[in-house]
Structures are given as structure tokens and as C-alpha cells.
Amino acid sequence: MPDRDLVQARVRELAGRDWDLGSIEARYRTLLTEGIPRRLDRQVVLSRRAEILDRVQRRAEEYEYLTHS
């Protein structure tokens, strides 16, 4: 189980984030209509792995926020 202090710190961070709903909604609509891009260069993905994972995490948080706002 995650450390309670870490979870609470993360909750505070997310609560204080500036959520740009217009941009989030636009990306969400594009994702719904066009789906996930299928043409991914394996070498690019591997070389930019940390950046891509951070972006995926942020988008997941944004879409979760969008569905609950």
C-alpha cells in the first residue's frame, strides 16, 4: 500500500494544478474520434521513454479530471 503521506502530497498537487479544460476537451475529442496513433517508431519510443511515460500519466490525470468535473 502506498505511503499515506505520499498519497496526500499527490492529492494536494493535483488539487492545485491549473486544469486547462478547453485543451483537455479538445485532446479528448480527438482521441475519441481518431483513436491512439498506430505508427510509432520503436527507437524513438525507447529513447524518449521517460518523457512519453510522463506525458501518458499527465493525460490520464487530465482525462480523469475531465470525466469528474
Give CA–CA dist 48/1, Å, rounded: 29
Total residues belonging to the chain? 69
Average pLDDT estimate for 10-24: 90
Give CA–CA dist 34/69, Å, rounded: 23
Reduce the secondary structure of 5-69 to three states and give it as a string.
HHHHHHHHHHHCCCCCHHHHHHHHHHHHHHCCCCCCCHHHHHHCHHHHHHHHHHHHHHHHHHHHC
Q: How confident is the model at residue 40 (pLDDT cuts 50, 70, 90)?
A: confident
Mean predicted lDDT score pLDDT of the chain: 89
